[in-house]
Structure 1
Amino acid sequence: MTRLQWIFHGQVQGVGFRATAQSIAQQHGIKGWIKNRDDGTVEMEAEASDESLQTFLKTIQEEPNPFIKVRTIDEQTYHNEKGHKKFKIAY
Structure 2
Amino acid sequence: MIRKHITFFGSVQGVVFRWRARHAAEYFSCTGWCRNEWDGTVAMEIQGEEENIDQVIMAIERGTYVRIENMDARTIPLEEHEYGFRTE
TM-score for the superposition, normalised by structure 2: 0.91
Deviations 1:12-49 (A, max 9, x none): 00111100111111110010000000000000001101
Root mean square deviation, CA, Å: 1.1
Partner amino acid, structure 1, of 2:10:
G
Structure-2 residue corresponding to 1:22: 22
Partner amino acid, structure 1, of 2:86:
K
- Give, in whole Å, the separation in 2 of the partners of 1:30 and 1:9: 21
Structure-1 residue corresponding to 2:78: 81
- Give, in whole Å, the separation in 1 of the partners of 2:14 and 2:63: 12
- Give, in whole Å, the separation in 2 of the partners of 1:11 and 1:51: 24
What is the identity percentage for the equivalent residue pairs of Structure 1 and Structure 2?
31
Structure-1 residue corresponding to 2:70: 72
Shift in Å, 1:71: 0.6
Q: Unpaired runs of 5+ in structure 1?
A: none
**1:1-16 equivalences in 2 (<5 Å):** 1-16=1-16
Cα contact 2:3–2:47 (8 A) shared by 1 = yes
Structure-1 residue corresponding to 2:58: 58
Shift in Å, 1:64: 2.4
Moved over 3 A (4+): none
Structure-2 residue corresponding to 1:48: 48
What is the number of residues matched between the two proteins?
Answer: 87
